[in-house]
Amino acid sequence: MTDSVLVSANFKSGSGSECGPQEDRAVTTGPQPGATKEVAGCRSISVENGVLVPATSSLQLVARERIVFRPGVRVAAGGYLSARVNPTYGSSAGLANLAISDPEGAGTPSGGSAESPRWWTPESEDARRREGGASTTAAQAAGTSTSTGGGGSGDANEQALTAPRSLTATPGDGSVGLYWENVQEADGYHVYWSRNPGIHPYTAASYDGFVANVSDARLIVGELENDHEYFFVVTAARGGHESPPSIEVAAIPEAGPVLVAGRYRLEALDAPTVVDLETGLEWQRCALGQQWDGAACTGSAGAYSHAEARQATTAFNRPHASEEPEWRVPAIEELQGLVYCTSGTPAHFPDGTGCWGSHGIPTLEPTVFPTGSAAGGWFWSRSTHTDGQAWGVDFDRGIAQPYHSSAFSSVRLLRPVSERGDE
């Protein structure tokens, strides 16, 4: 069922386009800067995704039965949008019936609200929050569609974008780590947060901050206040279009180490290593060959034969000679203990039989190992099988099995915590 909200709007008469009482009109472009655009007298009017009302401009609408606004319609600060449903167009009428359509379940507010007009007329303070300071370029990318053409490929792009799924929020010290499933058709993501629930990406007053054009399906949001709850949503983006928003999640930043899945301890969300409290092992969060940038692993995981994996580990330890104990290649039992199935079948951290059903790739806890799909595939253990074979784990499927030692695979290093003098 389509959600809708009734709002009050005044109509100012002016010159423009009139249509017949049985005609349905789609508005696909907004007014030019400083101009007024009017569409009046139609049976119904739909304002399509990508329509922008610039500052100092006005879009004025009168329909006889219904006015529908698709997700993605935007009004810049200083712009003006008025709408009226008037069955007897040409005479005076009462309040506008403004239906904000959400056919894809985008999370549009439902029910009457005294705050609804802010949807269409952001105050200057909201505009500064969204478009001010160093965030101007990012804000324009997140909040202003550059495509105002009707129909065509722009609508197809919008329809193809799906909302990011499985958004999770992990609290840290003055920060929150966000992770979600990759949307294949997206070329980036926009992240929004607020101290209050009810975020909608098209309503500047509904959020306190945002980051545009995030390249990976993860982000650590910093400079947050500890012991206060924050709410987050994410949209996928491509070519100036945004998907419907994800589910809204909440987290409360707090000082001290971060505990993930009741098992992994991070000294901070941006720490390069993680301790498994169940096994007493400390793991590198990145595969050998990648670099930790404080939020994710960059670069490509190295590809090594089984013998080369040992050599690469020795080379990795040279600049860490003062650290005890040394980093090493895991045994097969240690490596397959990292497998995590988002499908839940088999259970969390299964026994090497692989993940069943639809599951995220790679099969790793995404908060602990935010490495993206580039870190999926085969990883070596140090355990040998038969002549010419050694054990490894396929983190695309979560399966542990032997394969030829001359094959090229990735490596993830660990060391025991219990032997470290500082523990």
Q: pLDDT tens for residues 229-245? A: 999 999 999 987 889 99
In this predicted structure, the answer to whether residue 398 has a pLDDT above a threshold of 60 is yes
pLDDT in tens, 46-91: 888 778 888 788 888 888 888 877 766 777 777 788 888 888 775 4
Residues 191 and 311 in one domain: no
Q: Note whether 391 and 271 are same-domain residues.
A: yes
**Residue whose entry in the numeric block shows the structure tokens 């722009």:** 154
> Is 311 domain-assigned?
yes
Residues 220 and 281 grouped into a single domain: no
pLDDT-derived band at 375, boundaries 50, 70, 90: low
**7 within domain boundaries:** no
Residue 384 · residue 391 · CB < 8 Å: yes
- Domain count for the chain, please give it: 3
Task: For residue 198, give Cα distances in angstroms to 109, 111, 115.
Answer: 8, 13, 12
State residue 303's pLDDT score: 92
Establish if 123 belongs to a structural domain.
no
- For residue 334, being part of any structural domain is answered with yes
Residue that terminates a domain, selected from 235, 251, 267? 251
In a domain, 125, yes or no: no
Domain final residue pick, 224, 251, 278: 251
- The answer as to whether 138 is a domain residue is yes
Do 291 and 275 lie in one domain? The reply is yes
The answer to whether position 421 is within a domain reads no
Q: How far apart are CA 325 and CA 413, in angstroms?
A: 12
Residue 80: domain span: 17-118
Looking at the fold, whether 262 and 408 belong to one and the same domain comes out as: yes
pLDDT of 2 reads 35
Distance of CA 350 to the CA centre of its chain: 28
Say what the pLDDT of residue 409 is.
Answer: 93
Higher pLDDT, 307 or 133: 307
For 269, residues 6+ apart whose C-beta sits below 8 A from its C-beta are 170, 172, 173, 175, 176, 177, 220, 258
Q: What mean pLDDT is reported for the chain?
A: 76
Whether residues 239 and 137 share a domain: the answer is yes
Least confident of 110-124, 145-159, 350-364: 110-124
Q: Is the pLDDT of residue 7 over 70?
A: no
Residues 231 and 136 in one domain: yes
Confidence (pLDDT) at 350: 63
Q: What is the CATH number of the domain that holds 135?
A: 2.60.40.10
Beta bridge partners of 399: 353, 394
* End-of-domain residue from the set 192, 218, 251: 251
Query: Is position 126 within any domain?
Result: no
d(CA 301, CA 262): 28
> What is the C-alpha R_g of the chain?
27
Q: Which tops the pLDDT comparison, 205 or 372? A: 205
Contact 7, 116 (CB under 8 A): yes
How many CB atoms lie under 10 A from the CB of residue 218?
21
> C-alpha angle with apex 395: 393 to 399, nearest 5 degrees?
50
pLDDT band at 294 (very low <50, low <70, confident <90, very high): confident
Lowest mean pLDDT among 12-21, 172-181, 338-347: 12-21
- Based on the fold, state whether residues 215 and 269 are members of the same structural domain: no
pTM (two decimals): 0.56
Average pLDDT of the residues in 144-153: 33
Tell whether 162 and 230 lie within a shared domain. Answer: yes
> Residue 132 — very low, low, confident or very high, per pLDDT cuts 50/70/90?
very low
Same domain, 272 and 246: no
Contact 179, 170 (CB under 8 A): yes
For residues 274-286, average pLDDT: 94
Q: Are residues 294 and 365 in the same domain?
A: yes
Residue 414 has pLDDT above 50, yes or no: yes
| Residues 398 and 300 grouped into a single domain | yes
